[in-house]
Amino acid sequence: MRNIFFVVIIISLTIFSISCSNDFELTEIGPDVPVVYGIISAQDTATYIRVEKAFIDENIGGDILARDPANLYFEDINVKIRHIATGKEYNLNKVDGNLEGYKREEGAFASAPNYLYKIKRSTLNFIYKDEYKLIVSKNDGSVLTESSTKILTPLSDNNNDVEPKSSTSFNFGYNSDFRVTWFPDENAVIHDVILVINYTEILNGVATEKAATWKAAVNSADKLAGSTAYTFVTKGRSFYEFMAGELTPSGPNNPVTRIFKDISLKILSGGQPIKDFIKIGQANLGITSSGEIPVYTNMSNGARGLFSSKTEFLRLGMGINRTSLDSLRNGVITKKLNFQ
């Protein structure tokens, strides 16, 4: 008897180190169990929720079942979001994500169609700090599963939420601390700090605009003791080590000249369910573990999945101070990159 089902775990397009996946898990729960994924943000122009189902067959292998879209999607459900404060409900529309610019990766599961449930911000404009409930129900009104989350307030330069401030330049002293500090929404408990280094590369007289993305902190939860602030700290030399590892040195076979332009600072933040999901996903995987991977869910009625909130801070056009620029050009770690 094949009393296992295959279920896809589809994770955020933008948040943390979780990537879109068509990998499958083996589990021993019953058939037609909802598998839900939704990370919502007041900053997004549209919200997409993925709702799929577990499946089981005593005679047909899961690898075969997974290739049939009829086994992945419900045909008789409604997906809606309720604003808890007012009780107002908003129905989401079923769309094909492949036609919305969110193509599903090729893998163990059928890649087309790629059904998602969508609502535009013009229809549902989330209110910061308010609570919203995702409800998946059958056409007869019976609830299959539900979950609630609060909308995170974005970081803002207007409120001096992030240090260093926009008026300063980054300082990457080799043996000095490079520090980013931020004061997030109280419900934002896990963060990525990303620096995008923009530069011009000139090869054979042709100039090309390029960027190197440094994920300086991933899934960070380093809160300052006795404070509402979070911080990321590393030695300044880490910046040059990243650049040296990311870019190809200039040389006879690659005679490039590079010109530093600026740095974009991103801070991606997520709610407690995202933190719990990542923590559980990393648990029990060490050399002393049992090898059993726990499954996280914050959906009701035995459903599987994740419903939470996220937010993104983006600051463009940050510079680096003169000493750091000189180290990028002439320092022992990055001299061969030929920044001018």
The answer to whether the beta carbons of residues 200 and 210 sit under 8 Å apart is yes
In this model, does residue 155 exceed pLDDT 50?
Answer: yes
In this model, does residue 64 exceed pLDDT 90?
Answer: no
Q: Would you kindly state where each structural domain of the chain is located, as residue ranges? A: 5-151, 157-269+315-337
Cis, bond preceding 164 (omega within 30 deg of 0): yes
Instruction: Give the residue-averaged pLDDT of 22-27.
Output: 40
Instruction: Give the residue-averaged pLDDT of 69-94.
Output: 93
Q: pLDDT tens digits for 231-252?
A: 999 999 999 999 999 999 999 9
pTM assigned to the model: 0.85
More reliable by pLDDT, 201 or 69: 201
Q: Which helix (H) or strand (E) holds 149?
A: strand 143-150
In this model, does residue 13 exceed pLDDT 70?
Answer: no
Instruction: Give the residue-averaged pLDDT of 64-68.
Output: 60
In this model, does residue 23 exceed pLDDT 80?
Answer: no
**pLDDT given for residue 225 in this prediction:** 82
Instruction: Give the residue-averaged pLDDT of 194-205.
Output: 97
In this model, does residue 327 exceed pLDDT 70?
Answer: yes
Q: Angle at Cα 150 formed by Cα 119 and Cα 86, nearest 5°?
A: 70
Instruction: Give the residue-averaged pLDDT of 6-19.
Output: 37
Q: In what order do the strands lie in the sheet with 34-40?
A: 93-96, 115-120, 46-53, 34-40, 304-318, 256-270, 190-203, 206-220
| DSSP classification of residue 336 | G
Percent of all residues in the chain with a pLDDT value above 70, rounded to a whole number: 81
More reliable by pLDDT, 221 or 55: 221
Of the candidate ranges 48-62, 78-92, 187-201, 270-284, the one whose mean pLDDT is the lowest = 48-62
